[in-house]
Amino acid sequence: MNQKAFAIFVGALMVLSGIAYFLPLGTNQKEIAVTSDANSPETFGVKGSLVDWSFDGLRDVLEMAPQNTDMAYWINISSSQNLTDAASITLPQSIGLVYGDQLYSTRIERLGEVRFNNTWAEFHWIEPYPMGYNSLVIPYEGYMMIPMGTDFVMAMGRPTLFGPQEAVQQSIDVISGGQPSENFTLVDDNGADLQVAALGRGGASMPMAGGYKEFNLRITSSRSGEDGFDIVARYIQPTADTSRKASDLAEKSDLEYSSSGSEGELSGFVSEENIQFVLMGLLGP
């Protein structure tokens, strides 16, 4: 993420954080939609189309991702504070993870991000609440994009889209019927608290510098009653260097790394105290 743009956004956020809610331009409070279902995106009271998409895992994120997506992740922020803290340090810089409690009048429960063409878009799952906006909106394909500072916009719904305007527009194109990313063959419907997927074609900015054709990570709170996480990291066509890094990490963290044909897999139990170290090893260069 552009550091200057990030700093400008934080400044704008400080100004907006004291405002409880906003009204759309030319709208009065009586015009805000009221629905019988408090979980409906219409509760936001924003004019135009609203995002209404399943958001239970990484597969749902990829269904909203442009074709040229190189990396994506999904995290259940409500599951484990320990895992969320580790993810916010080791994943690519995310406004939702760092400033999620200041963006809306309710907390972000689940978050996804896709990265493509040197840009990114975030997806924030929040409980709908009456809101609006007291300035101009940017219409696009029926959606009303709300500017946040000078560099970012958001399109309300479940999930709410957030990011640079062009990136959000590309996600809206997919939601509106465009072709989504279909290159992530390791992503399935198995549930997890944190899911990460990457393609080696993304190069040095990818986990382990993209030394593979495809990478997939699933982390779930341990079901054995222990305080920690079950982890499975899979690689298709890992390079010798990537296999060595994964094997070294497994040895240091009491995990198992095995390979079969063109695939490699690292798996095992990770304690709460060790999860940041393991994530840094898997998601670092």
| Three-state secondary structure string covering 215-284 | EEEEEEECCCCCCEEEEEEEEECCCHHHHHHHHHHHHHHCCEEEEECCEEEEEEEEEHHHHHHHHHHHHC
The pLDDT of residue 23 is 38
What are residue 150's phi and psi, to 5 degrees?
A: -105, -10
Q: 4-8, 125-129, 218-222: which has the minimum mean pLDDT?
A: 4-8
Average pLDDT over residues 9-34: 42
| C-beta of residue 235 within 8 angstroms of C-beta of residue 242 | yes
CA–CA separation, 188 and 190 (whole Å): 6
- 121 within 8 A of 170, measured Cβ to Cβ: yes
Q: What is the dihedral of CA 96, 116, 187, 156, to 10 degrees?
A: 40
Which amino acid is residue 48, in one-letter code? G
Band the pLDDT of 27: cuts 50, 70, 90.
Answer: very low
pLDDT value of residue 225: 74
- Lowest-pLDDT range, 97-101, 126-130, 169-173, 241-245? 97-101
CA distance between the termini of the chain: 17
3-state secondary structure (DSSP) of residue 20 = coil
Query: Would you place residue 17 in the very low, low, confident or very high pLDDT band (cuts 50, 70, 90)?
Result: very low
**Dihedral of CA 275/276/279/281: which sign?**
negative
Helix (H, G, I), strand (E, B) or coil at 158: strand
